[in-house]
Amino acid sequence: MNFGLIYVFLKNKGIVFFNKFRTKTYLAKMKNKSQILIKRPEGTPEMETWKLVENEVPKLNSGELLIKNHYISLDPAMRGWINSSRSYIDPVELNDVMRAGSVGEVIQVEGQTKFKVGDFLSGWGGVQQYSVSNGEGYFKVDPDKAPLTQYIGTLGMPGMTAYFGILEVGKLKADDVVLVSGAAGAVGSIVGQIAKLKGATVIGIAGGKDKCDYIVQELGFDGAIDYKNESVFKGIKTHCPKGIDVYFDNVGGEILDNAMIFLRRNARIVICGAISQYNNTEVKGPKNYMSLLVNRASMQGMVVFDYAHKYGEAFTDLATWIKEGKVKSKEDVYEGIENFYDTFLRLFNGDKMGKLILKVKENND
Amino acid sequence: MNFGLIYVFLKNKGIVFFNKFRTKTYLAKMKNKSQILIKRPEGTPEMETWKLVENEVPKLNSGELLIKNHYISLDPAMRGWINSSRSYIDPVELNDVMRAGSVGEVIQVEGQTKFKVGDFLSGWGGVQQYSVSNGEGYFKVDPDKAPLTQYIGTLGMPGMTAYFGILEVGKLKADDVVLVSGAAGAVGSIVGQIAKLKGATVIGIAGGKDKCDYIVQELGFDGAIDYKNESVFKGIKTHCPKGIDVYFDNVGGEILDNAMIFLRRNARIVICGAISQYNNTEVKGPKNYMSLLVNRASMQGMVVFDYAHKYGEAFTDLATWIKEGKVKSKEDVYEGIENFYDTFLRLFNGDKMGKLILKVKENND
């Protein structure tokens, strides 16, 4: 008997009812597949970094929720979380479920809880089918207002990062020339579109013709540089003849160094990520950093969590822009907890378009 | 007959009188020793980078001044000015007199001029005994208010750089922990003292016991790290157990990388210079720059000229602090235009204490 399907049926009919007894029977038979961190990688993570395990879903304590994860967010930042050192957030502990953003549905509660059964929530569900939580760090989302996947994309952390990164850290002005790397990615694509709709000239750097065509033809960027097939230096020189006012960096390495050559007076570099360096044991520092002095420019790091008190404002703006067709996004969805590793690697080899998502299989068997 | 000595005699008696005829006669016999840039160096400049020449002082045109340089300022920035590429200022052209800050005295004028004979001026006199100028870029200084050398030191560009660098770019707050490299130098020593008198905790990095003793015992720094004889990493760890709020960087390289490890949340790095890298053909970029992201920190470059409209304010403050004994400085003075090259090298090998100055010999023969 498939309790999952029965649950879905009941929920669709609006008849969701669990009594305590029923719930526990239900749970006793439920299995939870998860990806456990078992090794700290050096360089590019090997498959043995994580282990797929299947355990019974634990019994809920009072105040806890059981959340069925629908979509799991795969983000470059995850590479940093599995290093041993504390970064802006504690590392994932060995033998813990791999940390990940997620969106899912409350399917059971115990006692007094922050959310109720049937609520859709976004939060830190981890790379697993089911999450147990007291609700902290979760917030309710409305699947009627936007597809669930957008709550871990343009209306989630990547969107918030883009919004506060370009507007607050980048101090965007209408006549700025903006260069963004990782321009077809979840953050970069939104950065560019926000900058465009604020009046800036926007050039994106992306890998391959498809991505470059996408950001220009579908997202309305003013130009694209294909770092896999052309010189980034020449590309910037051609597309930004007067130089760059804001460089929004998701990649680091050679591209950051090239961008630095073209900084204009008082330019701002937003350090959002450095995906080209995450798997290096020795990071390549930007050798052209003295361009900051020559051009009185600044380079500033950001972590999106600092803007949590203003997520509402960003959410409203982004939702409006999406509705108006001014901000578009693409999602690249792969399926199955067991396929986490292969999907994760796509973050680093560039083999994905837009927001990378792992879908939890509908039928959890 | 020594016209120079006659001039000095007349001036000392307050009898300075030149008629046109007299001046020209006088000038016709005056020689000007200067250092000419004849080669663009790669790496550390060789002696053949400049050539000592002696020419007749040219006749003045209407509106021009003849300035007898007393002191010539030697600054790390000079290394940048002799590269072929434009930085924040045009490069010194080949066969031009080497650019340098200076302080000197007007000994002759022609027609209507901005300054008069006997005025002491600070400006860009270059590495030479006499400069001819229409007065642009020069400003009058008062030898009774401060020793002439201070107008190219604490009351000149190095002092202005320190003042605006730590207060405006560094956004100094009273409870900050400030780390400064090149701490016994013309800029670093003033940075540290300003930070101290504003209430901050100040640790300096300098090379050798003498410099470290000097900044702690004479300048009142809270601690010193001798980069030549101890681990900078361990030194910062010991002296800044809570990390750094402001790192004022004059040196770049390994020291910058070590400082980055200890940034606190919202820390500011002021990029004032990178003397460890100026003679490198390939600059070492800061490999720990992702600390900017983790700590939401910023790294900003500065060029003192941008603050020219506020030099008056800085001058008043610095002059007051000097008078009150709150800001002290040391000068390291060498003599003779012909000794420019050897003296210049002291900027890079650390073999100087405080502000490096080349004195023009009293007797110009």
Inter-chain Cβ pairs, chain A and chain B, closer than 8 A: 107
State residue A25's pLDDT score: 44
Task: Specify the higher pLDDT residue, A362 or A212.
Answer: A212
Q: B246 and B284 in one domain?
A: yes
Domain assignment of residue A364, yes or no: no
State residue B5's pLDDT score: 40
Domain assignment of residue B124, yes or no: yes
Q: Is the pLDDT of residue B32 over 70?
A: yes
Q: A164 and A112 in one domain?
A: no
List pLDDT tens digits, range A90-124: 999 999 999 999 999 999 999 999 999 999 999 99
Q: Contact A297/B298, CB-based, under 8 Å?
A: no
Cα(B315)–Cα(B159) distance, integer angstroms: 8
Query: Chain A: residue nearest B278 by CA?
Result: A290
**Which residue from A257, A298, A301 is facing B296, i.e. has the nearest CB?**
A301
Q: Is A34 helix (H, G, I), strand (E, B) or coil?
A: strand
Query: Chain B: residue nearest A274 by CA?
Result: B290
Q: Contact B88/A298, CB-based, under 8 Å?
A: no
State residue A350's pLDDT score: 84
Cα(A162)–Cα(A248) distance, integer angstroms: 9
Give the closest-approach CA distance of B290 to chain A in angstroms: 8
- Interval B19-40 mean pLDDT: 71
Q: Which residues in chain A have their CB less than 8 angstroms from residue B288's CB?
A: 283, 285
Q: Which residues in chain A have their CB less than 8 angstroms from residue B287's CB?
A: 282-285
CA distances (Å), origin B18, targets A155, A240, B15, B111, B115: 79, 57, 10, 12, 15
State residue B87's pLDDT score: 82
Q: A147 and A172 in one domain?
A: no
CA distances (Å), origin A342, targets A103, A138, A279: 21, 27, 16
Query: DSSP states of B296-328 as a string?
Result: T-EEEE--GGGGGGGHHHHHHHHHHHHHTTSS-
Q: Is the pLDDT of residue B19 over 80?
A: no
Domain assignment of residue B219, yes or no: yes
Q: A195 and A266 in one domain?
A: yes
Q: Contact B299/A289, CB-based, under 8 Å?
A: yes
Q: Which domain holds residue A176?
A: 158-308+315-321
Domain assignment of residue B365, yes or no: no
Interface of A with B (CB under 8 A): 87-88, 252, 257, 271-274, 277, 282-303, 306
Give the closest-approach CA distance of A326 to chain B in angstroms: 29
Answer yes or no: are the C-beta atoms of A231 and A237 closer than 8 Å.
Answer: no
Task: Specify the higher pLDDT residue, A26 or B83.
Answer: B83
Q: A291 and A182 in one domain?
A: yes
How many CB atoms are closer than 10 A to CB A265?
A: 13
List pLDDT tens digits, range B161-175: 999 999 999 999 999
Q: Contact A293/B286, CB-based, under 8 Å?
A: no
Evaluated on CA atoms A307, A313, A315, A321, the torsion sign reads negative
Query: Chain B: residue nearest A293 by CA?
Result: B301
Cα(A243)–Cα(A109) distance, integer angstroms: 56
Q: Is the pLDDT of residue A14 over 60?
A: no
Q: Which residues in chain A have their CB less than 8 angstroms from residue B271's CB?
A: 289-290, 292-293
- Interval B8-18 mean pLDDT: 41
Question: Hey, which residues does B97 pair with through a beta bridge?
Answer: B36
Task: Tell me the CATH number at B280.
Answer: 3.40.50.720
* Residue A43 φ/ψ, nearest 5 degrees: 70, -150
Burial class (CB in 10 A: 0-12, 13-18, 19+), A63: middle
Cα(B225)–Cα(B230) distance, integer angstroms: 7
Query: DSSP states of A266-278 as a string?
Result: EEEEEE---TTTT
Domain assignment of residue A276, yes or no: yes
Q: A11 and A74 in one domain?
A: yes
Give the closest-approach CA distance of A268 to chain B in angstroms: 9
Name the DSSP letter for residue A215.
Answer: I
Q: Contact B277/A289, CB-based, under 8 Å?
A: no
- Interval B337-352 mean pLDDT: 94
Burial B243-267 (b: 16+ CB within 10 A, else e): bbbbbbbbbbbebbbbbbebbbeeb
Q: A37 and A9 in one domain?
A: yes
Q: B226 and B300 in one domain?
A: yes
Q: B268 and B162 in one domain?
A: yes
Q: Contact A299/B289, CB-based, under 8 Å?
A: yes
**Which residue from B271, B288, B295 is facing A293, i.e. has the nearest CB?**
B271
Q: B112 and B163 in one domain?
A: no
State residue A30's pLDDT score: 87
Q: Is the pLDDT of residue B339 over 90?
A: yes
Q: Contact B294/A303, CB-based, under 8 Å?
A: yes
Residue of B89, B90, B269, B271 to mutate, testing the A interface (most A Cβ within 10 Å of its Cβ): B271
Give the closest-approach CA distance of B233 to chain A in angstroms: 17
Residue of A279, A293, A303 to mutate, testing the B interface (most B Cβ within 10 Å of its Cβ): A293
Q: Which residues in chain B have their CB less than 8 angstroms from residue A285's CB?
A: 257, 284-289
Question: Hey, which residues does A103 pair with through a beta bridge?
Answer: A71, A122
Cα(B155)–Cα(A24) distance, integer angstroms: 79
Domain assignment of residue A112, yes or no: yes
- Residues whose CB falls within 8 Å of the CB of residue B288, separated by 6 or more in sequence, listed in order: A283, A285, B257, B260, B261
Q: What is the mean pLDDT of chain A?
A: 91
Confidence of residue B8 (pLDDT cuts 50, 70, 90): very low
Residue of B164, B270, B298 to mutate, testing the A interface (most A Cβ within 10 Å of its Cβ): B298
Q: What is the mean pLDDT of chain B?
A: 91
Domain assignment of residue B364, yes or no: no
- Give which of B64, B58, B67, B68 is closest to B113, Cα–Cα: B64
* Residue B332 φ/ψ, nearest 5 degrees: -115, 105
Which helix (DSSP H) or strand (DSSP E) does residue B213 occupy?
Answer: helix B209-213
Interface of B with A (CB under 8 A): 87-88, 252, 257, 271-274, 277, 282-303, 306
List pLDDT tens digits, range A175-231: 999 999 999 999 999 999 999 999 999 999 999 999 999 999 999 999 999 999 999
Answer yes or no: are the C-beta atoms of B188 and B180 closer than 8 Å.
Answer: yes
State residue B25's pLDDT score: 43
Q: Is the pLDDT of residue A45 over 90?
A: yes
Evaluated on CA atoms A193, A199, A252, A123, the torsion sign reads negative
E-assigned strands of chain B? 31-37, 50-56, 65-73, 102-109, 120-123, 130-133, 139-141, 177-181, 201-206, 223-226, 244-249, 263-271, 298-301, 331-335, 355-359
Q: What does DSSP say about strands A355-359 and A263-271: parallel, antiparallel, or unpaired?
A: unpaired
Q: B249 and B111 in one domain?
A: no
Q: B273 and B261 in one domain?
A: yes
State residue A363's pLDDT score: 63
Q: Is the pLDDT of residue A248 over 90?
A: yes
- The torsion of the CA quartet A185, A190, A196, A201, rounded to 10 degrees, works out to -40
CA distances (Å), origin B226, targets A364, B274, B354: 62, 18, 16
Query: Chain B: residue nearest A272 by CA?
Result: B293
**Which residue from A252, A291, A301 is facing B294, i.e. has the nearest CB?**
A301
Task: Tell me the CATH number at A338.
Answer: 3.90.180.10
Question: Hey, which residues does A215 pair with through a beta bridge?
Answer: none
Domain assignment of residue A147, yes or no: yes
Domains in chain B: how many in total? 2
Which pair of structure tokens corresponds to residue A95?
């033998």
**Which residue from A273, A285, A301 is facing B285, i.e. has the nearest CB?**
A285
Give the closest-approach CA distance of B294 to chain A in angstroms: 5
* Helix, strand, coil in percent for chain A, rounding step 5: 35, 25, 45
Q: Is A335 helix (H, G, I), strand (E, B) or coil?
A: strand
If you compute the radius of gyration of chain B from its CA atoms, what whole number of angstroms results? 22
Give the closest-approach CA distance of A104 to chain B in angstroms: 29
Give the closest-approach CA distance of A292 to chain B in angstroms: 5
State residue B363's pLDDT score: 62
- Residues whose CB falls within 8 Å of the CB of residue A50, separated by 6 or more in sequence, listed in order: A35, A36, A37, A38, A98, A127, A340, A341
Confidence of residue B72 (pLDDT cuts 50, 70, 90): very high
